[in-house]
Amino acid sequence: MRVQLEPQALQNLRIQQNKNLIKHRKRVKNLPVSNASNPFAFGSKQALAKSVKKVMKALPVDRIRQMEVIQNITEKLGLLSKTKFTHNVRCLPAATRTEVLKFYDRGDIPWQAPRKRVRSQ
C-alpha cells in the first residue's frame, strides 16, 4: 500500500505516525502502575522461577514464621489489607460461674470429689 502512495502522501503518513507515537509514549509514561500481576514482568518462566527459588531459600524454616514474613510483605506492597488481631477470650459466662461457685459452696459436697456426697454421722 505504501508503495502505491505518492511521495507527498507518504510524507504526510509518516508525520501522522510520528505524532501518534509521541502521543502514545506520553500516555503510557503517565499510566499508574496497577496492583494486578503483570504476566510480562519477567522475561521468561525460568527467570520467574529463579527469583521465586531465591526468595524461598531466604525465608525462615519455620512455617509460621514464613507466613508472618509473607503476610508482612504483602501488606507493605498493598496486595492485602492489614490484618486486625483478634483476641479469642475463652471464658465462661457470669451466670455459669456463679452457679458453679454456689455448687461448691454447698456443705454436703466436698471439693475433691464433687459427685460424692458426705455422709453425716
Q: What are phi and psi of 43, to 5 degrees?
A: -70, -30
Structural domains of the chain, count: 1
Residue 45 included in any domain = no
The model carries a pTM of 0.37
Residue 23 included in any domain = yes
pLDDT below 50 — which residues of the chain?
Answer: none
Q: Would you state the pLDDT for residue 110? A: 66
The parent domain of residue 27 ranges over 1-31
Residue 108 included in any domain = no
Using an 8 Å Cβ cutoff, are 26 and 37 in contact?
no
